[in-house]
Amino acid sequence: MLAMVIHSASKEVFQAAANTLATLSKQNVSIRKVLLAKGVHMNVLNIMKKHSHVPEVAESACKMLNHVFEGSFFHLDVMTVTASEVVKAMRKHEKLPSVQLEAFRVLLHFMVTGTVQEHPNTPFRAVGGADLDLTLKVIKNQCLLEGTHTLVLDALNRFIGNPAIQRCGLKILSSVAECSGALEILSQQGATDTILHTLQMYPDDQEIQCLGLSLLGSLITRKSLCIATMHVLATVLVSTLRRFNEVTEIQMHGFRTVLTILDLSPCFAKLLIHESFDTVIFYQMSMFFTERRNQQCQSLCCKCFAKIADNDDIKNVMLEKACTECNSVMAECLLLLGADANKKTKTSSLIYQVCERGSNSKLVELLLNSGAREQDVRSALTISIKKGDSQIISLLLRKLSLDIANSSICLGGYGIGKIEPSWLIPLFPDKPAPLRKQTNAGSALARMVLRYQMKSFSEYRSRSCSDVTSCDDPLDKSYDWTFLPDPLVDNVFRLSDDLDSEESESSFHMKKKSNSIAVADLYRDTALQRYSPTLQRHSNSVGPGSDYEPHVKQRRKLLSSEESLKGISKLSSSARQSDSLSSLSLEKEYIKSLDLSSNELENIDAISQNGCLTSHLEHLEKLELHQNTLSSIPEQLCETLKCLTCLDLHSNRFTSFPTYLLKMNCIANLDISRNDIGPFITLDPNIKCPSLKQFNLSYNQLSSIPEFLADVLEKLEQLIMEGNKISSICSPICLKELKVLNISKNNISSLAEHFIKDCTKLEIFSARMNLLDTIPDLSSGITSLNLSQNHFIDIPGAVLLLPHLRSVDLSNNKIINLPGPVHWKSLNLRELLFNHNQISILDLNEKSCVWSRLEKLHLSHNRLTEVKHEFLDMKKSKY
Contact 798, 777 (CB under 8 A): yes
* Rounded CA separation 320/327 (Å): 10
DSSP letter (8 states) at residue 494: -
Could you give the CA distance from residue 711 to residue 683 in angstroms, rounded to a whole number? 9
What pLDDT is attached to residue 645?
A: 95
Angstrom distance (rounded) from CA 34 to CA 142: 29
- Count of alpha carbons within 13 Å of 360, Cβ hemisphere only? 24
State which amino acid sits at residue 799.
V
Which pLDDT score is estimated for 556? 41
Cα of 86 vs its chain's centroid, Å: 62
Report the pLDDT value the prediction gives residue 615, as an integer from 0 to 100: 86
Our CA angle for 275, 341, 317, nearest 5°, is: 10
Rounded distance between C-alpha atoms, residue 421 and residue 413, angstroms: 18
SS3 labels along 539-571: CCCCCCCCCCHHHHHHHHHHHHCHHHHHHHHHH
What is the separation, in whole angstroms, between the first and last Cα of the chain?
136
Instruction: Give the pLDDT confidence of 216-232 residue by residue, as tens digits.
Output: 888 887 777 788 888 99
* CA count, 13 A, side-chain hemisphere, 60: 21
Q: Let me know: does 568 contact 522? Beta carbons within 8 Å.
A: yes
CA distance 143 to 90: 12
**Alpha helices in 493-540, H assignment, sequence order:** 519-524, 526-530
Q: At what angle do helices 206-219 and 163-176 cross, to 10 degrees?
A: 30
- 3-class secondary structure, 670: strand
**Domain boundaries, given as residue ranges, for the chain:** 1-180, 459-483+494-574, 783-879
**Nearest alpha carbon to residue 728 among 780, 682, 772, 777:** 772
Task: State the alpha helices, DSSP H only, in 93-247.
Answer: 97-111, 113-117, 129-145, 148-158, 163-176, 182-188, 191-201, 206-219, 227-243
412-416, long-range: CB < 8 A, 24+ apart: 412/595, 412/596, 412/597, 412/598, 412/599, 412/624, 413/597, 413/598, 413/599, 414/378, 414/381, 414/598, 414/599, 415/598, 415/599, 415/600, 416/381, 416/385, 416/599, 416/600
Report the C-alpha gap between 186 and 176 in whole angstroms: 9
Residues in the chain predicted with pLDDT less than 50, given as ranges, are 116-128, 433-438, 466-486, 492-588, 871-879
The dihedral built from the CA positions of residue 589, 595, 600 and 606, taken in this order, carries a sign that is positive
How many Cα atoms occupy the beta-carbon half-sphere of 785 within 13 Å? 26
Please give the Cα distance from 809 to 811 (Å, whole number).
Answer: 6
Taking a C-beta distance cutoff of 8 angstroms, is the pair 613, 623 a contact?
no
Residue 11: name the closest of 67, 42, 53 by CA.
53
pLDDT score at 846? 78
User: What's residue 11's pLDDT?
Assistant: 66
For 563-668, list the strands marked E by DSSP.
593-595, 622-624, 646-648
pLDDT at 878: 47
- Radius of gyration (Cα) for the chain, nearest Å? 46
- What's the CA gap between 806 and 778, in Å, rounded? 15
| CA distances in angstroms from 446 to 293, 299, 442, 450, listed in the order given | 18, 13, 6, 6
CA distances, 458 to each of 454, 464, 472, 503, 666 (Å): 6, 10, 11, 11, 66
